[in-house]
Every structure is written in structure tokens, then in C-alpha cells.
């Protein structure tokens, strides 16, 4: 089935309630038996048909009562309020798995596993990330705050560096792992402290991740 021609790429950062080695990345059940977190991305290059998406920032807040594959989850999109009506419509489509091959992206999977989709929030998204340094500062209006930093070993003041390499991943090819904390007062509440932080350069299109 032919899809609308679309593509997005740019730096992405996320934080969930799992331990540093997020079991979901290894096809295991989440650390605490449930999953909740968020991701944010700045689209440095992108389009949806003739609609230019470059420069727009987006975020997704999500939660599942158990492992993602069991479903029953809820998600909510946040799109920077500077986005035009055309950009908003395009992004709401791709971020919920529209115009995408089945199971090709984590966005498709998230939506399939979330019977509850809250109304999209349009708010100012401030995003400052450094993948190499494993650092991030995120502020979304007055509803979400997140900070990411390197993992600190318990026996020293150094910085521990770990990557996850997924040649056939549906979210990323390579991700840096760090420590992150997030609070959110959206309908999906978050209160994460010193848990799994993830940095990667996202490249998504209708057929999945561009590896």
C-alpha cells in the first residue's frame, strides 16, 4: 500500500521509569512491571508530502499498566505551538503511526498498544540536548521538565558511558544511555528520578527507521 511521502530526522531524547539497561530494548519486561515516560525530538529536516516540517519540536508522553506488548496504554502528543495548522495535522498523523508500514516504527507500535489517545497539547518546547555528552535540559510550557546527565559510577566521580546498538531497531540505530529525571503534570503524570535516559538521532519514514 502506497503511503504519503514523509520523512523526519533530528536529535531525540527520552526518559522512562526503567533501570539504565531498559529491558524493553532487549525484549524483556520493564523493570517495574509497567512502563511510563516521554520522548522529545527536534525535527532538523523533514516533510510530509509538500508540508515542510523542519524546525518543529514534538514530544510524546506515554504509559502502560504492564509491558508495552500487552497494550492497555495511553499516550499524548505535544507539538510546539509555533507549528502551523498543516504541520500539526501532518505530525499528528506520523506520530500516531499513520502513513506507515505496520510495526515499522515505535510510533506505530505505541499507538497500536494505546487505546487511549489524549487530545494533543500545543505548547512551547524548549530543548537543549547533547548526545555525545549525554546531557539534556527540557522544558515544555509549565507542564513538563526533564534533565539528563551521564551515569555516575557508585565507586568514583567519573562518567560511565554505554551505547545500545540496534541494526534492525524500530526506534533507533544507536542510542547513548544515561541518567534522567522528569516531572510532568499532563493527564499522564510523570515523576521519574534517576532512571533510564536515552539519546539518539532519529530518522523515520513510511517504511521505518533509516539505518
* Per-residue pLDDT reduced to its tens digit, 90-123: 999 999 999 999 999 999 999 999 999 999 999 9
Contact residues for 152 (Cβ-Cβ < 8 A; gap 6+): 158, 159, 160, 179
Residue 154: which pLDDT band, with cuts at 50, 70 and 90? confident
Say yes or no to pLDDT of 21 above 90. no
Take residue 94 and report the three cell numbers written for it: 506520523
d(C-alpha 87, C-alpha 6), whole Å: 12
As a whole number of angstroms, the longest Cα–Cα distance in the chain is: 54
Helix (H/G/I), strand (E/B), else coil: 108: helix
Q: 178 - beta bridge partners? A: 197
When pLDDT is cut at 50, 70 and 90, the band that residue 40 belongs to is very high
Q: What is the mean pLDDT of the chain?
A: 97
Q: Kindly indicate the confidence band of residue 47, based on its pLDDT and cuts at 50, 70 and 90.
A: very high
Q: Does residue 202 register a pLDDT over 70?
A: yes
pLDDT of 23 strictly over 70: yes
| Residues 39 and 59 sit within 8 Å (Cβ to Cβ) | yes
Model's pTM, two decimal places? 0.96
**Among the listed residues 14, 106, 31, 20, the one whose alpha carbon sits nearest the alpha carbon of residue 67:** 31
Euclidean distance between CA atoms 164 and 140, whole angstroms:
27
Query: How are beta strands 174-184 and 144-149 bridged, if at all?
Result: antiparallel
Give the three-state DSSP class for 4. coil
pLDDT at 1 over 70: no
- Banded pLDDT at 197 (limits 50, 70, 90): very high
Any bridge partners for residue 126, and if so which? 139
Check whether 88 has a pLDDT greater than 70: yes
Share of the chain above pLDDT 90, in %: 96
The radius of gyration of the chain from alpha carbons, rounded to an integer in Å, stands at 16
Burial of residue 155, with CB atoms counted within 10 A of its CB: 0-12 exposed, 13-18 middle, 19 or more buried? exposed
Amino acid at each position: 500500500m502506497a503511503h504519503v511521502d514523509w520523512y523526519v530526522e533530528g536529535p531525540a531524547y527520552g526518559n522512562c521509569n526503567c533501570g539504565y539497561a531498559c529491558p524493553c530494548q532487549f525484549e524483556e519486561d520493564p523493570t517495574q512491571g509497567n512502563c511510563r515516560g516521554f520522548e522529545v525530538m527536534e525535527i532538523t529536516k523533514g516533510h510530509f508530502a509538500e508540508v515542510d516540517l523542519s524546525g518543529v519540536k514534538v514530544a510524546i508522553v506515554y504509559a502502560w499498566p504492564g509491558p508495552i506488548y500487552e497494550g492497555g496504554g495511553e499516550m499524548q502528543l505535544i507539538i510546539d505551538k509555533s507549528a502551523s495548522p498543516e504541520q500539526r495535522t501532518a505530525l499528528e498523523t506520523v506520530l500516531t503511526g499513520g502513513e506507515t508500514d505496520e510495526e515499522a516504527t515505535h510510533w506505530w507500535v505505541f499507538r497500536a498498544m494505546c487505546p487511549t489517545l489524549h487530545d494533543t497539547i500545543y505548547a512551547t518546547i524548549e530543548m537543549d540536548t547533547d548526545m555525545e555528552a549525554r546531557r539534556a535540559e527540557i522544558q515544555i510550557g509549565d507542564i513538563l521538565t526533564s534533565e539528563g546527565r551521564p551515569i555516575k559510577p557508585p565507586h568514583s566521580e567519573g562518567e560511565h558511558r554505554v551505547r545500545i546498538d540496534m541494526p534492525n531497531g524500530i526506534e533507533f540505530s544507536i542510542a547513548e544511555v544515561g541518567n534522567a529525571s522528569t516531572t510532568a503534570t499532563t493527564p499522564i503524570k510523570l515523576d521519574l528520578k534517576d532512571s533510564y535516559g536515552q539519546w539518539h538521532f532519529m530518522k523515520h519514514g513510511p517504511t521505518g527507521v533509516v539505518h
